[in-house]
């Protein structure tokens, strides 16, 4: 450390330890530790800003280039290959490349690298394989046409295929570990013109990798849970049952996307005696796997209770009583519509759900006023029924709140949007009508799932 300079008092130079002394060594170590802590704070702020796996890995790669290396590759093990400990051991050395970053001069020379999102199968003995098998850092050197004098191909080193065509350089591969498991690797390459990686670099890069690995693992677990929830919901949310021949149906279910956990929106149709059909739409509170499971529990109970041929408001009372006995079941809103085509009428009962809409050929859509009771599962149910006429030229629309609600908008204003709907001219298919409803009413980027059920009496 330099001790003289403009503005330096003579006493300051005397206070600094002599070069090479134990004090100077301790001071350098202290400054290095402070710099490393500042770097880790910067990494904590810049890596893991979302629960998106690819975005988090890209943040790590961008943090490493050009700060530590000229090329960085992040590769994550598939879920089925995750070891129970810190090393992978024997097995297929296959990983998914989730991020690849390089300085501009090097990016132009890469030999057709595997793009982010692609799968990489590593050759035995390459640095990535050694890191995965041992769970330890690999520190070495890559030469054109060989590595460390072994005569191996360059793509076997410096993040394997990612470094092909990059020329000679210093290679550092560090494991990504989280919750006691190896989940992937971070591979770095410095060109031959740069300073080779040393032990200090290894310690610093591993510390950054450890911080980033926790964020990567959180994003990976979130993605796995999202996939599981959506697959479960697809399996449970079957098409509505077949109604009587005197009733035409169409339905849509639109998940809000991968950025948010799917919810418990559902619909159902149940054939009853004397040509009647019970239409059901509901929304379990909350999101995720638990909401999807509870949604299936409500559907199962509903079929059981509806088989007793009770009127809609008494069906809701029974459902509320049965579900309130279990603390594990989440509350849910629900709207029942008992359609009687022979009598051209429909009986409604609501458990905290949004009102149905009636699309008419002779005017704007009408929101039907239905007495609203508490959500199911609260044990407070006191539900009432109301009857409306339903003519063959009219279309009944049931929906969940994702169709109309906006975070920045009052619910009355959102519902008013439905009243501006118009029927398509004469006898249009219900599928086309639902296309019109979704295009007109649904938000461009929904914050919640959307379930819609349309019904029309057949003449």
Asked if 290 and 262 touch (Cβ cutoff 8 Å), the reply is: no
Neighbours of 27 (CB within 10 A): 14
| Residue whose pair of structure tokens reads 């070495």 in the numeric block | 140
Report which DSSP code applies to 124: T
Q: Quote the pLDDT of residue 379.
A: 85
CA distance 396 to 279: 10
Buried b (16+ CB within 10 A) or exposed e, 317-336: bbbbebbbeeeebbbbbbbb
| Residue among 239, 386, 259, 252 nearest 311 (CA) | 386
CA distance 186 to 203: 13
CA distance 407 to 251: 25
Indicate the fold that domain 237-457 takes in CATH.
Phosphatase 2c; domain 1 (3.60.40)
Give the relative orientation of helices 289-306 and 199-236 as an angle to the nearest 10 degrees: 10
Give the relative orientation of helices 22-46 and 53-64 as an angle to the nearest 10 degrees: 150
CA distance 269 to 294: 18
Residues linked to residue 266 through DSSP beta bridges, in sequence order: 282
**How crowded is the C-beta side of 455, counted as CA atoms within 13 Å?**
35
| Residue among 208, 192, 206, 211 nearest 71 (CA) | 192
Mean pLDDT by 10 residues, the chain (459 residues): 43 55 70 77 88 92 92 87 58 78 79 70 83 88 48 38 57 92 92 85 92 92 77 61 84 68 78 93 80 80 90 94 79 95 96 93 88 90 93 92 83 84 73 89 80 90
- Which helix (H) or strand (E) segment holds residue 386: the answer is strand 385-389
- The full DSSP string for 133-198 is HH-S-EEEEEETTEETTS---GGGSSSGGGGTTS-SEEEEEEEEEETTEEEEEEEEEEETTSPPP-
* ω into 66 cis (within 30 of 0): yes
Q: Quote the pLDDT of residue 369.
A: 95
Q: Quote the pLDDT of residue 142.
A: 63
Residue 411 — left, alpha, or beta (φ > 0 → left; ψ -120 to 50 → alpha)?
alpha
Q: Quote the pLDDT of residue 16.
A: 56
Asked if 186 and 131 touch (Cβ cutoff 8 Å), the reply is: no
Q: Quote the pLDDT of residue 15.
A: 57
| Residue among 29, 43, 38 nearest 208 (CA) | 43
Q: Quote the pLDDT of residue 149.
A: 34
Return the structure tokens found at 207.
């510390």
3-state secondary structure of 71: strand
Asked if 244 and 274 touch (Cβ cutoff 8 Å), the reply is: no
Asked if 358 and 369 touch (Cβ cutoff 8 Å), the reply is: no
Asked if 208 and 63 touch (Cβ cutoff 8 Å), the reply is: yes
* 28-226: CATH architecture: 2-Layer Sandwich (3.30)
Residues of the chain with CATH 3.60.40.10: 237-457
Write phi, then psi, for 95 (nearest 5 degrees): -140, 160
Provide the whole-model pTM: 0.58
Residues of the chain with CATH 3.30.450.40: 28-226
CA distance 99 to 87: 22
């Amino acid at each position: 450390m330099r001790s003289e300079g403009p503005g330096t008092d003579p006493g300051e130079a005397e206070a600094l330890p002599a070069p090479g002394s134990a004090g100077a060594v301790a001071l350098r170590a202290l400054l290095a530790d402070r710099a490393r802590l500042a770097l880790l704070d910067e990494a904590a702020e810049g890596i893991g800003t979302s629960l998106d796996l690819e975005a988090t890995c890209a943040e790590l790669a961008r943090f490493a280039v050009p700060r530590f290396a000229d090329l960085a590759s992040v590769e994550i093990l598939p879920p089925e290959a995750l070891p129970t400990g810190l090393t992978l051991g024997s097995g297929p050395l296959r990983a998914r490349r989730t991020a690849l970053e390089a300085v501009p001069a090097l990016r132009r020379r890469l030999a057709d690298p595997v793009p982010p999102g692609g799968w990489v199968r590593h050759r035995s003995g390459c640095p990535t394989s050694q890191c995965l098998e041992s769970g330890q850092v690999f520190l070495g050197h890559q030469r054109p046409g060989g590595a460390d004098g072994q005569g191996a191909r360059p793509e076997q080193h410096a993040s394997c295929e990612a470094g092909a065509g990059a020329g000679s350089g210093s290679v550092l591969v560090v494991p990504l570990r989280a919750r006691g498991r190896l989940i992937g690797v971070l591979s770095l390459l410095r060109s031959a013109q740069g300073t080779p990686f040393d032990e200090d670099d290894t310690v610093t890069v591993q510390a950054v990798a450890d911080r980033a690995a926790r964020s990567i693992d959180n994003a990976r677990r979130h993605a796995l849970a999202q996939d599981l929830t959506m697959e479960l919901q697809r399996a449970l949310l079957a098409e509505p049952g077949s109604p009587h021949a005197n009733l035409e149906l169409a339905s849509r279910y639109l998940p809000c996307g991968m950025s948010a956990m799917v919810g418990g929106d559902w619909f159902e149709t149940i054939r009853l005696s004397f040509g009647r059909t019970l239409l059901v739409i509901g929304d379990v509170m909350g999101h995720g796997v638990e909401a999807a499971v509870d949604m299936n529990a409500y559907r199962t109970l509903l079929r059981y209770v509806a088989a007793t041929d009770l009127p809609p408001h008494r069906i809701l009372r029974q459902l509320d009583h049965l579900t309130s006995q279990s603390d594990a079941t989440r509350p849910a809103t629900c709207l029942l519509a008992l359609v009687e085509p022979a009598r051209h009428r429909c009986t409604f009962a609501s458990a905290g759900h949004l009102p149905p809409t009636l699309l008419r050929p002779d005017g704007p859509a009408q929101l039907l006023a239905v007495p609203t009771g508490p959500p199911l599962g609260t044990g407070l149910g006191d539900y009432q029924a109301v009857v409306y006429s339903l003519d063959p030229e009219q279309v009944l629309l049931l929906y969940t709140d994702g169709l109309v609600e906006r975070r920045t908008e009052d619910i009355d204003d959102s519902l008013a949007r439905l009243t501006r709907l118009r029927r398509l001219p004469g006898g249009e298919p219900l599928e086309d009508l639902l296309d019109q409803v979704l295009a007109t009413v649904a938000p461009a980027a929904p914050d919640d799932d959307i379930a819609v059920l349309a019904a029309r009496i057949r003449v």
